[in-house]
Every structure is written in structure tokens, then in C-alpha cells.
A and B are shown apart, each in its own frame.
Chain A
Amino acid sequence: MTRLPDPGFDIRIADWLEADPTVAPVDLMRTVEAALPSIPQRRVLRLPRRLPPVNRFALIAATVGLLVLAGIGLLTAGSRPATPLPTPITSPPPALRTPNVTTEPDYSTLGGRILMEHLGNAPDGSEMPTTDYHPERRRLYFMSPSTMTGATAVELLPGQPPAGKLNADVSDDGTQVTFMDTAEPARVWVAGIDGSGLTQLSTDCGCSELDPAFDATGTRIAFVHLEGAGRLSKFGAQQTIETRGSDPLTAWIGIRNLRTGEVTKIASTTASTADDVPYQPAWSPDGTEIAFGRITWGTGAPTGSLHVVDVARDAVRDLDVSDSTPGDPDWSPDGTRILYTNFPWSSMGSIPDLPPPTIVSVLPDGTDRQLVASGSGASYMPDGRVVFMNNYFYVVNADGTGLQPVNDRGDDLSELNVGFAYIPHWVGNP
């Protein structure tokens, strides 16, 4: 074995490495075995590495023969009238597109833009003199895939509403944005994607309204109604529930009709304790179901669960997923899968000592778990790919392939002196 000089130092390194774990966690192989049936093998058509030995003269003769045949073919084809190109058979594009493997280092040439949820100091550095960490500053910015720098980020509705903007959702047609503020009680707002027509949707009910989400038509918004308690969003991403004295806690998912203002309570989602409060509702594309999470804070690491409510039947079913703390669910554009983050940042963010978040998708019944990527704040793009955050914004195919940064020359969006971007939403066709 070839080793560099200084065996003494080599031994110290080897000893140091030796002390690290050598046994894989038990669930490592369980996850692999569970995922195998859903992953087809890539079959290859392979030519033999070596051609059988051929006589040199035979090879020359064969080559000349091929050239002659090709020449005859060209002459024959040239004398014929041009053959019309076949009419392309149009078919609807698959909902979950898996692009061909690209040699590009990133996705900076994609169309559309990213609406970025951000906390802390302005990403353009304009608030850098105040080097304090400001988690109560919650804003939305547009970023272009072609740049992805803080300096080029454009804020949506600067200073409006005064209590900031978080937990946003963009309508499927890309024309509207809804979000909540950090006020106490929190309010839900809606505006055009260009910032026009900013409107507070929440009425003065003495309750908080949280986590708004458009349905596919952009005419209804699901949200979390919370009374007798507050959610501490303005102190960072950590969103524990704080009860108010002796007021009973009540929370449920409501649906607000944007045309009439009417609110429908989904009674089956009602919670009466902090650990049952629903989080982050997400509509199925057909508008019949809403996925949501619950988080149990407890004394150790939080745990969570995923659920789906049938809107018409007002009935909740639980998704039996193997991850301990699933959250931030999102439905694929074709409605066949639900994406979620284990240890979601929108709900928990910077709690120290949590495991790194992972992005996972399952069938709507909670089966067929597939690991998509390591990261958080994931959502489906209009074409079925997934955009997510992990210091930088990344795009990955729904099956976990094709992972690339949105822009490999972009800024690290996790630098605290210029705030922290934590959730991207893709706006427009990529």
C-alpha cells in the first residue's frame, strides 16, 4: 500500500477515523428494500466491446461496398418528389414530466420565476448594517432563475401589509398570491401576482387565520382557523401553539369562497388541543380533498402526522407514512402523489438538533414512499417537477432524478446576515 510520508500523522488520522460508527442504522436497509419495487431497472442495449477479428481486405471491401450502396441510395432518393413530413400526433403532455438528462449544470434557463419566502434582513444587503438576526421580518421576493442573487430579488408589495407576509401560495394560473401575516391574531391576505388589489380576507373574528392555500380554480382558499391560542410565527419559523389563559382552544380548516366571502368549516378537522391543530392545508387538483398536517410539540423533537379530508363528506383519513414528522404537504399536478417534508421548515425551521429535512412523496393513500431529495420547503412546479430549498434552491424530477441547482452561480440563500430563504414557489411555466 502506498502511503505518504509521516506515518505518525497517518496513524493519527486513521485512529481518528476508526472511532466513527461502523454499523449502519437498522432502518437504512428497510428504506432501501421498501423503495426497490417502485424503481425499475434501466435496461441497456449494449454492443459487444470487441468486434470479432476480421480480415483487413474483407473490411476494406465491405466499406467500399457500403459507400457504393449509400451513393446509389442517395441518387435514387434525390430523383423522387419530396416526401411530406409525417403529421405529428398530438397528445396531452404527461402531467409528471421527467425531462431528459441534461448536460447543463443548472436550471437557469427555465422559464417562469420563483416567489421566495424569506425571513430576516433584506437579501439585497440593504439592511446589512443591522447585523442582528431579524426573524420577525417576513417578506416575499421574486427571483429569476437566470440570476438567483439577492441583489436582483424583487420584493412583492414592500411594506404591505405592515405585519409582513409568510406561508404564501400561488394560484395554479399564476395570477394570484395569498399569504398570512405575523400579526396577532394573524390575518390572511390575497393580491394579484403583480401586487395589485391587496385585500385582507380575514374578518375581525378574534381568531387567527393561517396557512392559506388556493384550490385549482383559484376561487376558494383553504386556511386554518385558530381561536383561544396563537401561533408564534413572528419569532422565527418555529410555530408552536401558545394558548391564551383559560380560553378554550379551537382550530379547524375552513374554506373561503373568494367570490361570496362565505366560509365553510370542515368540522372533521376540528382540534381542541395544541397538538391537534391542523397545519398547511393543500388542495388536491380536483378540489375534492385537502391534505394537511398536525404537529405534536411535546418535550423532545416534535412529531407529526399527515391527513386528508374529503371535503364533500367532511371525513378525515390518516396517511400512515413512516416518517416521524411529515409536514408541508403538496399534491402533484396530476393528483397522483402527495409530496411532503419530514421535519418541515415552514412549521419548525431552526429548532436546533433536528435531523436534516428530507423530501418524500407518497401515493394519496400514504403508500409507495419515495425519497425525492434532501431539503425542505418543497412544492411541485406546474410541470410536475419539484422545487425546494437547501441553502440554494434546487429543482429535481418527481422521481428524484435530475437534481440540479436552479442557478449554480446564484447566491447562498441561507446566509443569515442577509436573511434566510426557506420556501420557493415556481410561478409560470418553467
Chain B
Amino acid sequence: MRDELVARAMRGDREAFTSLARDRADRCYALAYRILRDPHRAQDAVQQAMLGAWRDLPGLRDPDRFDAWLLKLVVNACYSESRTERRWTAKVRLIPLENPVEPDVARAVAVRDELEHAFRRLTPEQRSVVVLHHHLGYPLTEIAATLGIPEGTARSRLHHAVRQLRAALDESPASLVTSEERPA
């Protein structure tokens, strides 16, 4: 069914392409959101990728690779989006907590914030590898094939990204745990 839709879309059938795109919109958006950390940029990236996919679909050599090819377009669109990231309107607002929060919950929230903060400091290339590996569960060989990079590069990016994330959390007061809590 999917192959038939891809074949029809390659011949210019908009309905077939729409059907394919609709089925993959959530997955593409989830990927883009996790790389860009911004709902609007993620939406723009997915739209750019989808429209690029439609435009270039007749050039797809292997219809079996449609899904991987689309994910690659999404990742590339995320790279473009992140290159044009604006900073002027970035604001940080402190929201006072009306109710006291349990220490464990507060610490979990703080750790999540630290992770978010550390993740944003990664390059888009590192983020994409982390998301493909830890969210979509791709092995390094498939990450490399999807992104069109050598497997060693994918491994290196993942290694450095995870190391940076861990370093950021280790430095964070929020991540300090007692010796009893610390995993062996």
C-alpha cells in the first residue's frame, strides 16, 4: 500500500502524497520538535521538508527508502531552521510558585530544566543524532544511513553529545543526589 502511494506520488498524484504525508506528520513533527525545541520552528521545518519532498520526490531513486528520505529532509530542514534562529526576543520569565512543591518533584523539574538547557547548547547535528538514537531508537548504522554520514561520525556525535549532557547535569546543583540515591 505504501509503495503504491509512493509510486503514485512520484508520478504527481497529490492525493497520494497527502496521504503519505498525513500519516507521517506526527512522527516528523515529533522529530523536529525534539531537535529544535520550539513548536513553531518545528512546524515550519516539517512544512518545508514536506514541500521539499513533494518537489523532489520524482528524483527519489529507491521508493523503499521513502521514510528514511523524508526523515532526512526533516533533519536538514531543522538544520536550516536552527541556522536562522533569532535571539532578539528571547526572554526568560520567572514564574513564582504559588504552592510549595515537594523537594523531589522540584528537583526532578530542575533536572529536566538543566537537561533542556544543556540540550539546547548542543549543535543541531548532535541533537539530531541524540533524538534519532534515544527517541526513535535508531542504531548507529541506521542513523548514519539516514543522515548520510559515516557511522563513525554518528558515533562520535552521539558520544560527545551525551558526554556534554552528562557534564552539564553533573555540574548542576539540581542533579546532586545523595550517595544512597546515586546509581552504582
Q: Which residues of A contact B (CB under 8 A)?
A: 1-4, 6, 8-10, 12-14, 16-25, 27-29, 31-33, 35-37, 39-44, 46, 49, 349-356, 358, 371, 373-375, 390-392, 394, 400, 403, 412, 414-416, 420, 422
Contact = CB atoms under 8 A, between A and B. Distances in A.
7 contacts: A2-B140, A17-B135, A21-B33, A25-B43, A27-B43, A28-B47, A391-B84
Contacts of B81: 374
A351 B89 contact: yes
Nearest to B161: A13
B51 A25 contact: no
Contacts of B162: 4, 6, 9-10, 13
Given A374-B41, A390-B86, A420-B88, A36 B14 contact: yes
Nearest to A399: B55
Contact of B59 (A14, A29, A44): A44
A391 B87 contact: yes
A42 B55 contact: yes
Name A's interface SS. loop
Contacts of A353: 91
Chain B CB within 10 Å, residue with most, of A6, A10, A29, A422: A29
A31 B139 contact: no
A166 to B, nearest CB: 16
A306 to B, nearest CB: 20
Contacts of A351: 89
Interface residues of B, number: 60
B150 interface: no
A403 B50 CA distance: 17
B89 A350 contact: yes
A41 B52 CA distance: 9
Contact of A394 (B84, B93, B131): B84
Nearest to A403: B80
Given A18-B135, A374-B84, A24 B41 contact: no
A41 B55 contact: yes
Interface in B1-32: 12, 14, 17-18, 21-22, 25-26, 28-30
Contact of B25 (A2, A29, A391): A29
A17 B58 contact: no
A20 B43 contact: no
Most buried by A among B29, B56, B141: B29
B174 interface: no
Contacts of B29: 21-25, 28
Contact of A13 (B48, B130, B140): B130
Interface of B: 12, 14, 17-18, 21-22, 25-26, 28-30, 33-34, 38-41, 43-44, 46-48, 50-51, 54-59, 61, 80-81, 84-89, 91, 93, 112, 115-116, 130-131, 133-135, 137-141, 158-159, 162, 165-166, 183
Given A28-B29, A35-B51, A44-B59, A391 B159 contact: no
Contacts of A3: 133
B12 A20 contact: no
B54 A9 contact: no
Contacts of B25: 24, 28-29
A174 to B, nearest CB: 27
A42 B56 contact: yes
B84 A2 contact: no
Contacts of A391: 84-88
A416 B88 contact: yes
Given A21-B30, A24-B25, A36-B54, A13 B134 contact: yes
A28 B43 CA distance: 6
Nearest to A348: B89
Nearest to A370: B51
Nearest to B159: A4
Contact of B93 (A17, A32, A35, A352): A352
Which of A25, A349, A373, A416 has the most chain B CB atoms closer than 10 A to its own CB?
A25
Contacts of A415: 87
A355 B40 contact: yes
B115 A373 contact: no
Contact of B39 (A25, A35, A44, A352): A25
B85 A371 contact: no
Nearest to A19: B112
Contacts of B88: 349-350, 391, 414, 416, 420, 422
A36 B115 contact: no
A5 to B, nearest CB: 10
B84 A371 contact: no
Given A1-B139, A416-B88, A371 B26 contact: no
A375 B84 contact: yes
User: B12, B86, B140, B141: which has the most chain A beta carbons within 10 Å?
Assistant: B86
Nearest to A31: B47
Nearest to B115: A16
B21 A8 contact: no
A260 to B, nearest CB: 41
Given A13-B130, A13-B134, A41 B47 contact: no
